Amino acid sequence: MAVDPQVRKLLDGLEAVGGPRYIEMSAEDGRQWFSDLRRPYEVPIGHVADREIPGQEGEIPVRLYTPVEVTADALPALVYFHGGGWVVGDLESHDPVCRALANASGCKVISVDYRLAPEHPWPAAPDDSFAAVQWVVANADSIGVDGQRIAVGGDSAGGNLAAAVALRARAAQSPYISFQLLIYPALDASMSLPSIGENAEGYFLEKAGMDWFYGHYIPAGTDEKDPDISPMFCDDLAGLPSAYIVTAGYDPLRDEGRDYADRLKNAGVPVTYANYPGMVHGFFGFQATVDAAREAVQDAGQAIGKALNRKMTVEAVDRGRRT
């Protein structure tokens, strides 16, 4: 299947703009570049509140979303970690995605503005992410959340963090996490799977970009196969939360999500795997102009809602997307 025509139009527009590539920029300039990519997309929401919560090294900014339709005093919650290669992105960059997921799932969404590399390399991001989940559970009553129905999720680097948090919670036997939403996750810092080469250039995220991100994120001398960095290399995935894993056909990271879904299934974990063959990395952020992006966000949100209402079943989403 070819690249979706609406996505191709976006890619051609980016190429036409020209200018330096983010991999040629400083981290600070790369953040501005990423911010400038945002397109206005209004998503109605019941309520939004910004606050700061305690972390290991200071306060962590979070944003709490309440869906338009509130069905109970205590709602399930999705703790969401934004993408951006652990270097770029923030609460604003993923605001439309979080709004849409809250409405589609009927859950509270807590978006986490974890510390970024290179100023704060690994393990700062997973430390902040795990602390945020612990805070949500500990403060569930005061924020209108059911502390027994907690999901973690994120896209790209955020999907990596969601998977890492699920592993940390299993190891610590706390907090209890019901579900994980992994959207085109980065799970293998060795970048050893075929899609890295197949989609190395021309599809928004490139292999050179992943080199740039990992170069900022992983300290020199650190084992890149540490499961806290590369969850793919965890030897035992049994007992992890049920998962909904999204991949894109023209994404260097496609095979990482696919193989992790297979490994989870083989370990007895209920998994739904949805591959969107005409999409590229980052397409959840294309809701303003790409029909399939809006559909995919709705699919993911509905999966969260079903899972956190104890209706999750082992299934495979086909709809022409399975590779």
Which candidate, 231, 285, 229, places its Cα nearest to that of 261? 231
Strands 58-66 and 47-55: antiparallel
Backbone angles phi, psi at 74, to 5 degrees: -120, 110
Identify any residues that bridge with 81 across adjacent strands, giving them in sequence order: 112, 154
The DSSP code sequence of 160-188 is HHHHHHHHHHHHHT-S---EEEEES----
Q: Give the Å distances, CA to CA, from 111 to 55, 114, 201, 263, 322.
A: 15, 9, 30, 28, 29
Q: Give the Å distances, CA to CA, from 230 to 47, 51, 113.
A: 35, 30, 21
Q: Give the Å distances, CA to CA, from 82 to 89, 202, 239, 262, 275.
A: 7, 23, 25, 24, 20
Give residues with Cβ within 8 angstroms of 164, minimum separation 6. Answer: 126, 129, 130, 227, 228, 229, 231
Q: Which positions are catalytic?
A: 156, 251, 281
